[in-house]
Amino acid sequence: MPIQSVSWVSKTLAVTRKDIVSEFRTRYAVNAIVMFALVTLTVISFAIGLLSPSKEILSALFWVILFFAAMSGLAQAFIKEEESGTAMILRLSCAGSIVFFGKMLFNLLLLITLSILIVPLFIVFLKISPADWIIFTGGVLMGLIGLSGATTIIAAIVSKASVKGALFTVLSFPVLLPLLVAAIEITRVSFTGGSFADISAPFQLLVAYDVIMITLSSMLFDFVWRL
Amino acid sequence: MAGCFTPGLFCIFYSLALQFRNDYPLKLMFELEVKNVSKWFGTRKIFENINLDLKSGQSIAVAGPNGSGKTTLLRIIIGLTVPTAGEVVFSQENKKLDFDSYRSSLSLVGPYLSLYGSLTARENLKFISKVSGTLSSDSDIGEMLEKVGLDGRGDDYVLEFSSGMQQRLKYAAALIKNPSILILDEPTSNLDDEGKKRVFNIINQYRPDSIIIIATNEKEEYSLADSVCQLGE
């Protein structure tokens, strides 16, 4: 059998591709996330009714929908592997960093897909549109990167516990709080039509959060994953 | 803002650069030493002071009644369970290796290991060969499926496989890595006579240049190993 070397990137993409193919066939996480987001969005739009909430509140509601939708499905990336006994295959086949970045990329793609679906519906149902699309898109993208990085390591921790679902949200909330605060602020500025100067501080916080979270998570992942 | 970006991006690229190392899973000569390994679950002793020394080309059967710690010992050997005392050392030419260095040379077949049900047999093997660093072609995968008696079933979902067929596929998944260390827990469970014969042939084929550890209660499987380590005595 010919033995060739496979680069770290190819191995990572193989993990992501495997998760995409598997998800496409089972729709395990996608169904949970999309349904949760749609139901929450509908409930919020009915609850608000004819009221006209401020843009500050709407920007917070946007991230509440994304946060809880992520909580409903992103933990599955690891829980499914542990419960079906396939996690052992990954542990014995590749380094933890490959699993971490492969799963993180899959979670990020899932969140981006969700956002593409949710943003137009949010605009239609809640009758609000970003005044500055560049700030809005940048804020959402950076927020999703941080969200996927943090939830990936937390999902790996939670997959070892017996009470998985509740623990995931409880552990995620304090870890994601700085990200949510910064992301909500950027979204608010994008709704109210502020300038780039107005988002300087929250954007720096968001970038710093993403970098620290992803770097630390990738370094600590082996300790969580191996045992 | 640039002040925040620059060190941040450097951190990400540096941590990524550390990961960019290729594995070269050639058939390597290894030595495995289990030194005074003991395992306790709370106050219950599972086993104490187990010592093994195996070099490539040597094999051992780990035998013992249910609950004697056969699987626990295997898990300690492959680094998935921490021993209460003692250590497991993998080395190559007297150079001690860490888990990351010998992972690509190690394969496991066991009842607690599952393949991806939502992928086909062929997709499972392709995925495992890729993430473990061996890039197997379609014909390599076809040969491997034929070797375990699953030719013609490569495009079926693993979910549809019987337990015996899944066991055969686990062998294909283990061998696709061309392992130097083969760990087999209950190697013939769920297999029919023809499947057992194939597994015996596979093990005998790998015996000359691999370390093989077999956890079993079947006396006929002792013949697959050079010696027997009896637990629970």
Distance from CA of A222 to the nearest CA of B (A): 11
Residue B19 clears pLDDT 60, i.e. is over it: no
Q: A3 and B118 in contact by Cβ < 8 A?
A: no
Which residue in the block uniquely carries the two structure tokens 């990961």? Answer: B19
Please give the ipTM for the structure prediction. 0.87
Structure confidence by residue, pLDDT tens digits, A26-44: 887 888 888 888 899 999 8
Summarised one tens digit per residue, pLDDT across range B122-142 is: 999 999 999 998 878 899 999
Question: Residue A222 is which amino acid?
Answer: D
Q: State the pTM of this model.
A: 0.87
CB contact under 8 A, A207 and B118: no
Query: What is the rounded radius of gyration, in angstroms, for the C-alpha atoms of chain B?
Result: 20
Instruction: Specify the length of chain A in residues.
Output: 227
Cα B146 from chain centre:
21
pLDDT at B20 over 60: no
Q: Give me the residues of B, 75-134, that contact A with CB < 8 A.
A: 78-82, 99-100, 103-104, 106-108, 110, 112-119, 123, 127-128, 130-134
% of chain B at pLDDT higher than 90: 58
What type of residue is A190? S
pLDDT value at B17 more than 70: no
- Residue B21: the pLDDT is 41
B7: exposed, middle or buried (Cβ count in 10 Å: 0-12, 13-18, 19+): exposed
pLDDT above 70 for B5: no
Cα B78 → chain centroid? 7
Q: Which residues of A190-209 are buried (b: 16+ CB within 10 A; e: fewer)?
A: bbeebeeebbeebbbbbbbb
pLDDT above 80: residue A147:
yes
Cβ–Cβ under 8 Å, residues A159 and A168: no
> Token digits for A227?
């045992």
Q: Answer whether B133 sits within 8 Å of A214, measured CB to CB.
A: no
